[in-house]
Chain A
Amino acid sequence: MKEFIVLKRNLKNDFSNLKKIRIALLGDTATQLLTQALRATGFDAGYDLIIWEADFNQIQRQVFDPGAELYTFNPEIVLLFQSTHKLLQKYNKLPPEQYSSLATKEIALIENIHATLVSRLQAKVIYYNYPEINDAVFGNYANKMASSFLFQLRKLNYELMEFASQQSDFYLCEVSSLQNELGKSNLFHTSVYINTEMVLSINALPKVAANTIDLINALQGKFKKCVILDLDNTTWGGIIGDDGMENIQIGSLGIGKAFSEFQYWIRKLKNRGIIVAVCSKNTESIAKEPFEKHPDMVLRLDDIAVFVANWENKADNIRQIKDILNIGYDAMVFLDDSAFERNIVRENIPEITVPELPEDPADYLEYLYGLNLFETASHSKEDEERTKLYQIAAQRTQMQQKFTNEDEFLQGLDMVSMIEPFNKFNTPRVAQLSQRSNQFNLRTVRYTEEEIRKIASSEDYFTFSFTLADKFGDHGMICAIILKKEEDGVFIDTWFMSCRVLKRGMERFVLNAIADEMKAQGFHYLKGQYIPTPKNELVKDHYLHLGFKEKNNHWTLDLNNYQTEKTFISANK
């Protein structure tokens, strides 16, 4: 990671072609250098962060005054940085009988700040949690005293997590974990604090900024979806082809422990919804053997969505994995102990993330924890089922290879789709797809759960969600449409679809469904728009293919002359 001195040279670069994001930073201590670090780190991530910084210690005035500059600035993201030092000062000034109520009072204030912000702004709120200060007034006994500062501080951090878990637009950024990682003497510099009111040391600024940008990336729909594993000396110790299954290192003894713990970590990622793939230079049957038979293996074949073991070039193999999974390279992480393989992959596929895994397997996990690769801004039940879905996709790809006639193949899939308006059951998934869908997304307008709820209940919109199931399994909800009423027709504000169901005729089925419904409601046209992004070229000619006519950067379909499109999907309303 760049040091602050190097990082801030970015500030002189040309930001003009980068994506602009308006950010308000409100702090109770001096935040000028944090602002610089954020903007400079943003540059490396491809953002032109327009940061408006509130005057020192003006959080409450800015938030509670409807006429404040904060609201004129109208940020998309509000960063709230309240320091442990200021919290301690507050605590110090309380009458002793009120010590025990510090956390309760603070969380009430923070909830109030959040509620006020989201009522006046369409913004997401990021709150920095509190690194610990142990004032040592009670020593270890502080843990037994609700009135101790340490007790109140930890309670507040916990209450913040409880609150964040209930709110869709409130996120926490970890400063507390960062202090654990760096040590307090590195996060906090006493003389700098005394002289400048800055609570973050200069060395810590790039780390805090990077952590913030990780969150912003996730909010922008940029995050990792897949981890690709090498096997020998990455997933287990030793070389399976040479050493044989009984001699690989895994389990509770010696260096085997490092690999077992690594596998547990990978399995937790898989359970969270990260797709796990294997890419190994091995004979497939030998590479699979430990997954099937080794008693100490944590990962099993069930955990692996795509398993590629052969003697081909790894870059080519990763291309194949990408084709099966249908996700971008920038959503993939490749873990391999061999510097040679890492370099081949990096050179051929620059977008993929290839961590420089340490020499000693004992260091793998700590190193990977520090990279924070798997940030996310949402989570749903479906995430946990993802591996199964991709395993089914891989089977389907194999079946497709058997059919030469596309129609025959599609017919044989027995596809059924359920069409529903947005409701309280599908809203979280709609919002999540809205955040993460990049490729099949015509306008790439991102909506939060809250916004989806508002749209669903508005008279001005029609909403449709589509599921898809076939004889291999259920994809769940894979497409959403938001139509906005115009005078005689409707505008397709949103059309996004999961890439899992490409080439199934789903888009024709969706068009039939919305065209029929809108015609029945007495509308005369559908109007669509394609807004290009670096990711959505796939749907550049989407409306052209569906028979829309182009005019002034918009595509129109005349509903009076509309012919139903041929599909192999039946509706289950």
Chain B
Amino acid sequence: MDRNEIFKHVNEVFIDVLDDGNIVLSEETTANDVDDWDSLNHIQLVVAIEKLFKIRFSSKEIQSWKNVGEMISCIQGKAA
């Protein structure tokens, strides 16, 4: 799956989990840029992404991403 496609799916997951149709992610987006992206919602985003791509993040990875771009790279490394 190419990066753009993953990006598109991840954006949809954010819209779905945070129930906010206006979310537009970029590579540089961080938790500070998105309303409601707190630690409680972060874990729900992680679980929804795991489910969608049928992957599993390690506990360390979940806490390591500085922005959406790093998250996408991590998914890209796992999703075949």
**Which residue numbers of A lie inside 8 Å of B, CB to CB?**
4-5, 8-9, 12, 32-33, 189-192, 194-196, 198, 201-203
Interface string of B1-42 (1 = CB under 8 A from A): 000000000000000110100000000000000000001100
Q: Does B65 contact A (CB under 8 A)?
A: no
**How many angstroms between the C-alpha atoms of A76 and B39 in the bound complex?**
31
Measured in the bound complex, the distance between the Cα atoms of B57 and A198 in whole Å is 16
Chain A to chain B contacts (Cβ below 8 Å), 15 pairs: A5-B16, A9-B19, A12-B19, A33-B40, A33-B44, A191-B57, A192-B46, A192-B47, A194-B59, A195-B43, A195-B62, A196-B39, A198-B43, A201-B47, A202-B44
Of A5, A190, A201, chain B has the most CB atoms within 10 Å of the CB of: A5
Interface centre among B44, B58, B62 (most CB of A within 10 A): B44
**Structural contact, A202 and B43, CB atoms closer than 8 A:** yes
Partner of B63, one of A5, A195, A198, A202: A195
Q: What is the minimal beta-carbon distance from A403 to any residue of chain B, in angstroms? A: 63
Flag if A191 contacts B62 (CB, 8 Å). yes
Looking at chain A's contact residues, the main secondary structure is helix
CA distance A485 to B54 in the complex (A): 67
**A192 & B19 in contact (Cβ 8 Å cutoff):** no
B19 near A191: Cβ-Cβ < 8 Å? no
B positions within 8 Å CB-CB of A = 16-17, 19, 39-40, 43-44, 46-48, 56-59, 62-63
Task: From B16, B17, B59, give the contact of A191 (CB < 8 A).
Answer: B59
Chain B residues whose CB sits within 8 angstroms of the CB of A33 once the complex forms: 40, 44
Ranked 6 nearest A-B pairs via Cβ: A194-B59, A191-B59, A202-B47, A196-B43, A195-B62, A192-B43
Do residues A5 and B59 form an inter-chain contact, with CB atoms below 8 A?
no
Contact flag A190-B59 (CB < 8 Å), given A5-B16, A5-B17, A9-B19: yes
Which of B17, B19, B43, B48: most chain A CB closer than 10 A?
Answer: B43
Residues of chain A lying within 8 A (CB to CB) of residue B19: 8-9, 12
Shortest distance in angstroms between B19's beta carbon and chain A's nearest beta carbon? 6
Total A-B residue pairs with C-beta atoms closer than 8 Å?
A: 36
CB distance from A33 to the nearest CB of B (A): 7
How far apart sit A5 and B59, CA to CA, in the bound complex (Å)?
Answer: 22
Interchain nearest-CB distance for B65 vs A (Å): 12
* Measured CA separation A9–B44 after assembly (Å): 14
Given the complex of chains A and B, what is the CA–CA distance between A202 and B42 in angstroms? 12
- B47 → chain A closest CB, angstroms: 5
Chain A residues lying within 8 Å of B17, measured Cβ to Cβ, are: 5
Given contact pairs A189-B47, A191-B56, a sample of 11 additional A-B residue pairs in the complex whose CB atoms are under 8 Å apart: A4-B44, A5-B48, A12-B19, A32-B40, A33-B40, A33-B44, A192-B43, A195-B43, A195-B62, A202-B43, A203-B47
- Please name all residues of chain A whose beta carbon is closer than 8 Å to the beta carbon of B46 when the two chains form the complex: 191-192
Q: What CA separation (Å) do A5 and B47 show in the bound complex?
A: 11
Residues of B contacting A191 in the complex (Cβ-Cβ under 8 angstroms):
46, 56-59, 62
Q: Is the pair B59, A195 in contact by a Cβ cutoff of 8 Å?
A: yes
**Residues on the B chain within 8 Å of A12, using CB:** 19
Complex interface: chain B residues within 8 A of A202 (CB): 43-44, 47
Q: Within the complex, what minimum Cβ distance (angstroms) separates B69 from chain A?
A: 21
Residues in A with CB closer than 8 Å to B63 are 195
Complex: A9 Cα to B21 Cα, angstroms: 13
Q: Please give me the residue from chain A that is nearest to B61 by CB atom.
A: A191
CB distance from A249 to the nearest CB of B (A): 40
B24, chain A: closest CB distance, angstroms = 20
CB-based nearest A residue for B39: A196
- CB-CB < 8 A to A32: which residues of B? 40
Contacts of B62 in A (CB 8 A): 191, 195
A4 contacts which chain B residues (CB < 8 A)?
44
Give B45 Cβ to nearest chain A Cβ, in Å: 10
- For B58, the chain A residues whose CB sits under 8 A away are 191
A203 CA / B46 CA spacing, docked (Å)? 13
Write the chain B residue with the least CB distance to A190. Answer: B59
Residue of B with least CB distance to A9: B19
Chain A contacts for B59, CB-based, 8 A: 190-191, 194-195
Query: B44 to A5, Cβ gap below 8 A?
Result: yes
Write out the residue numbers on chain A whose beta carbons fall within 8 Å of the beta carbon of B39.
Answer: 196
Q: How far is the CA of A203 from the CA of B47 in the complex (A)?
A: 9
Q: Chain A residues near B48: list those with CB within 8 A.
A: 5
Q: Provide the bound-state CA to CA distance between A5 and B46, in Å.
A: 12
Chain B residues, Cβ within 8 Å of A203: 47
Query: Which A residues touch B16, using CB under 8 A?
Result: 5
> Shortest Cβ distance from A185 into chain B, in angstroms?
10
| Complex interface: chain A residues within 8 A of B43 (CB) | 192, 195-196, 198, 202
A192: chain B residues within 8 A (beta carbon): 43, 46-47
CB A525 to nearest CB in B, in angstroms, measures 57
B51, chain A: closest CB distance, angstroms: 8
